[in-house]
Amino acid sequence: MLLSSNEVFQILKDVGLTSAKDKQIVLRWKRNGFIKAKIDSRKKGVWFEEKEVKKFIKNRKGASQIEILEMEIEKLSKIINEEKKTNQKLVEEIEFLREKLHENREDNSRHNEDTGQ
């Protein structure tokens, strides 16, 4: 059975997994990979399979605070690693542009010397 994000929010609130005011917590957990959506589209909305919700509840209720923090640390570590890759690409691009700028300055300097400027 498919459940809407509002239904999932209400279930999670009823079992004591959230005290949030609205379904945004469910959508955040989905974005962070803690709960999987069956359907996720602007047109149809976000829908969850009941078994995924039960699995999420079991994992959350059974997980200690340390396990929850470890999952969040792992997720953030992945994001940091992706950012490092992006930053490395930017550093390489900057170095390439600096080399090109240096070459252009040398070419302009030689050209000016050759033309007597």
Whole-structure pTM over 0.85, yes or no?
A: no
pLDDT at 19: 83
Residues 6+ apart with CB under 8 A from 112: none
Dist CA 33 CA 27 (whole Å): 10
In a structure prediction context, what are the per-residue pLDDT tens digits for the chain, which is 117 residues long?
899 989 999 999 888 888 888 889 999 999 988 888 888 777 888 899 999 998 888 888 776 566 667 777 888 888 999 999 999 999 999 999 999 999 999 888 888 877 766
Taking the domains of the chain in order of start, what are their residue ranges? 1-62, 65-117
